[in-house]
Structure 1
């Protein structure tokens, strides 16, 4: 059992993370540090976070039904590549010691912040003008890499998915973003299955975080039509730099 204050804090953090996930593909930059704040060890926090993140995809899926009408077969095709990668990434996390993960996380967070800011550039996503067979193959392989990152840590994985999906797909951004929400959630589900059999998940923390992520995921996909993504990106990126600095200090100096 956890304290009521902790329960409420994780619900609120989950709502914020779910909104950020739908708008800026960075749920883990809110949900992961929230778990650290309430005292969960880094690797366990990452695994518990993965267990929670599947619910933001569920919330997004409910609000994406209209956007994905006629695109489910295409979404399923892209899911195969993400699932292969997510399986490999989750096994890598269990294979290497927790100290390795703790030393890598600050750099993952900084990478995520950089990817988040770059994602605001229209040129960054406008990759389909000179599409080639090699480029398309590379984009599909990129989805596998994004899946590996999803299984291992996850923050910014959604941005990577958007890049490669934008290259491959001819759909508009709202549809591509909806597909990203679905396949990202499926990648987290595969990782969760691996973690259930190979590690410890703090389910008492998953429940409130999952409630928040479900609500936030639903609201986020709706708000993407109205909310300023630029504001969300800059606030999240600023928070990411602070978090990365703290994680670097605890991993390399303490």
Structure 2
């Protein structure tokens, strides 16, 4: 009973902070680890539990996504391939090696969480004019580099879900996109595609803890819904500061747990 309540509350908080400020995986992934799941299974289960929020969020931006069908379809194909590759890579990683990688993956996600907004602003300022012309990417070379970049991001997302949204936003800024609603829409949609196809790999290899993941998923959906209703009354910067502190503490804990 305690485990059920613990995981439900973790999902509730995770969905709530994702709706307001982002960074919910800093709560849900460690919670699954603390519930006793092996690291690889916890990571795969966390991807499953986060997918519902990605899908519901991307639906809210369907008009913006439909206005850029070509780039959405292209990125979706890349996300499909990258999600499959990342999921396979995760399951091919020795459990002990992945456990040792967790502190470093958490550190990368934490740094991205803190620096993401500044990085996005910097990239938008310095690369928006150089990579786009008349709203379209300039050359075939840039197109090729774009899809290669997104494939790398998709592999990361299939392998480790935390920080994925920030990485996608940074890439969109690098490519010169400035329409924040389209950027948020493609962030959520691409996260959905990557997650779905990595989940297919996880299901085929029986790598998802359905009971624990289902509880977190239910909590996440409820948390996202109610947080969305009351998000205008909450200071997102305050939530970001709290999540930032939590992420630093958890990263330090995992470094201590692995290397102490």
TM-score of Structure 1 vs Structure 2, range by shorter chain = 0.7 to 0.9
Does residue 103 of the first structure (1) align with residue 124 of the second (2)? no
Indicate conservation of the 8 Å contact 2:112/2:166, yes or no.
yes
Indicate conservation of the 8 Å contact 1:178/1:221, yes or no.
no
Aligned equivalents of 2:79, 2:246: Cα separation in 1: 27
Match of 1:167 among 174, 177, 180: 174
TM-score, normalization: structure 2? Answer: 0.84
Aligned to 1:130: 130
Which runs of no fewer than 5 residues in structure 1 stay unpaired? none
Larger Rg: 2
Describe how 1:30-179 pairs up with structure 2 within 5 A: 30-65=27-62, 68=65, 70-121=67-118, 123-126=121-124, 127-131=127-131, 133=139, 134=141, 137-168=144-175, 170=177, 172-179=179-186
**Residue by residue, what CA displacement relative to the aligned partner does 1:49-91 show, whole Å, maximum 9, x if unpaired?**
1121111112313433455453455433222222221111111
Does residue 188 of the first structure (1) align with residue 214 of the second (2)? no
Answer with 24-33 or 89-98: which moved more.
24-33
Indicate conservation of the 8 Å contact 1:57/1:181, yes or no.
yes
**Residue by residue, what CA displacement relative to the aligned partner does 1:182-213 show, whole Å, maximum 9, x if unpaired?**
21011111111101112432111111111122
Aligned equivalents of 2:65, 2:232: Cα separation in 1: 15
User: SS in structure 1 opposite 2:130?
Assistant: coil
Aligned to 2:26: 29
Aligned equivalents of 1:142, 1:230: Cα separation in 2: 30
Give the total of aligned pairs.
250
**Residue by residue, what CA displacement relative to the aligned partner does 1:114-149 show, whole Å, maximum 9, x if unpaired?**
111111225234141321645554333221111111
